[in-house]
Amino acid sequence: MVFPHDVPVLSDGTVSLRAHHRGDLDGIVEQCTDPLSIEWTTVPVPYTLAHAAEWVDQRIPKAWSDGSDLCFAIETEGRFAGSTSLRPEGDAVAEVAYGLAAWARGRGVMRRAGRLLLDWGFEQRGCAVVIWRANVGNWASRRVAWSLGFSFDGTVRELLLQRGRRYDGWVGSLRRDDPREPTSRWLTTPVLETERLRLRPWQEGDVDRIVEACSDPVARRWQPNLPAPYTESSAQAFMLRTAEQAAAGSGIGCCISDTETNQVLGSASVFDIGRRDPSGAEIGYWSHPDARGAGVVTAAVGRLAEHCFGDPAAGGLGLRRLFLTTAAGNAASCRVAARVGFSRVGTERRAYRLADGYDDTAVYDLLGTDLSHPSR
């Protein structure tokens, strides 16, 4: 294809895809020197006007000519807003790539641009499958892919090369006949408060307290699957898994923190939403050693249960039933369950693995009408 003459203009009336031109150079430099662009893409650092000119004058035309990278400029409100590409890989498979200027983010621009590009790729370029790849942790890119209907197909170790270093990569896919809309919920970790504590999303500054809690001998006795030793990397992996559950719509994990100091007191999470029961989920919790015996976890679990049973129209999850399992000998955990209002509904004999053997598993469940402990 001859650039720019054979590059189509695609538009939905708000966002347009078109050929790049020299009038985009300043906008390209602005985008490619933005910290998030530097963090998540392979743009040269430092990025200069000469890089932008070479890309527009040489690399983009050549890629259109040989069909290796069908790259469009994104325009909205009469301004250059970013770029998006379809990169054929053969056998009717192509990769999608995109990046947006800081000023245009958070406004649905990339979702609109993605739909235009995907419709063109499937209908005009004969694509059967489009692949999405991104560095692990690039949540903005993943959310765009999710909004466009991409499946999440997993994590590939050291998939992506960026400035001489390999990074783990997320991978997703979209087929020609798949809907261009989310196929699952993306849950938002709520901020929930009681008189004494706050449930909130995990933060990078929580790592040290997570390490302390998960290195504690009592915690390790009842949770033998914890990594040993438990390191900062272990804590970061825990927070990543929690965020991935929310993105997949399967759970939310909350940090229990002090309302005044924001210090980590423990964890309360709900997971496997809909796996065993379309309107049910499992709940789990742990406390930091210096928060034990003060009713912190009981209050937090009660508050989280209220959120789980709450009306979705008001921000709740709309669940009907929660259940939990714990070692029958873990008296503190069993007390939390009972005080919140859970009923013990069964025992699985010698089914709970401990650090030094096996214990019975105590099984509890809770309906919204059973909730007895006022979160405070």
Interval 5-59: pLDDT, tens: 999 999 999 999 999 999 999 999 999 999 999 999 999 999 999 999 999 999 9
Tell me the C-alpha distance between 222 and 224, whole Å: 6
- The answer to the question of residue 79 being in a domain is yes
pLDDT tens-digit map of 225-236 = 999 999 999 999
Mean pLDDT of the chain: 96
- Same structural domain, 111 and 231: no
Give the mean pLDDT of 346-366: 96
User: How is residue 74 written in tokens?
Assistant: 């994104």
User: Are the C-beta atoms of residues 213 and 219 closer than 8 Å to each other?
Assistant: yes
- The answer to the question of residue 187 being in a domain is no
Strands in 37-150 per DSSP E: 70-76, 79-90, 93-100, 129-135
What is the pLDDT at residue 369? 85
User: Are the C-beta atoms of residues 36 and 101 closer than 8 Å to each other?
Assistant: no
Tell me the C-alpha distance between 54 and 279, whole Å: 55
- Same structural domain, 199 and 74: no
Strands in 109-164 per DSSP E: 129-135, 151-162
Q: Phi and psi (nearest 5°) for 89?
A: -120, 5
- The answer to the question of residue 180 being in a domain is no
Give the mean pLDDT of 265-288: 95
- Same structural domain, 274 and 130: no
- Same structural domain, 152 and 210: no
- The answer to the question of residue 65 being in a domain is yes
Taking each helix axis from N to C end, the angle separating 139-147 and 109-124, rounded to the nearest 10 degrees, works out to 60
CATH code (residue 264): 3.40.630.30
- Same structural domain, 318 and 291: yes
Tell me the C-alpha distance between 60 and 52, whole Å: 10
Among the candidates 145, 175, 205, a domain finishes at 175
User: Are the C-beta atoms of residues 74 and 107 closer than 8 Å to each other?
Assistant: no
pLDDT tens-digit map of 80-122 = 999 999 999 999 999 999 999 999 999 999 999 999 999 999 9
- Same structural domain, 150 and 269: no
What is the pLDDT at residue 223? 93
What is the pLDDT at residue 375? 52
- The answer to the question of residue 182 being in a domain is no
- Same structural domain, 169 and 23: yes
What is the pLDDT at residue 356? 87
- Same structural domain, 340 and 211: yes
What is the pLDDT at residue 312? 94
Q: How much helix, strand and coil, in percent to the nearest 5, is found in the chain?
A: 35, 30, 35
Does residue 319 surpass a pLDDT of 90?
yes
User: How is residue 66 written in tokens?
Assistant: 């040989």
Tell me the one-letter amino acid at 161: L
What is the pLDDT at residue 372? 61
Taking each helix axis from N to C end, the angle separating 232-248 and 139-147, rounded to the nearest 10 degrees, works out to 20
Number of domains the chain contains: 2
Does residue 371 surpass a pLDDT of 80?
no
Range of the domain at 75: 10-175
- The answer to the question of residue 93 being in a domain is yes
Tell me the C-alpha distance between 156 and 274, whole Å: 26
Q: Which helix (H) or strand (E) holds 28?
A: helix 25-32
- Same structural domain, 196 and 169: no
Among the candidates 115, 148, 175, a domain finishes at 175
- Same structural domain, 33 and 124: yes
208 CB neighbour count, 10 Å cutoff: 11
Among the candidates 175, 201, 218, a domain finishes at 175
- The answer to the question of residue 2 being in a domain is no
- Same structural domain, 162 and 196: no
- Same structural domain, 171 and 229: no
Look-up: residue for tokens 């005044």?
260
pLDDT tens-digit map of 308-318 = 999 999 999 99
What is the pLDDT at residue 277? 86
pLDDT band at residue 276 under the 50/70/90 scheme: confident
pLDDT tens-digit map of 125-172 = 999 999 999 999 999 999 999 999 999 999 999 999 999 999 999 999
- The answer to the question of residue 47 being in a domain is yes
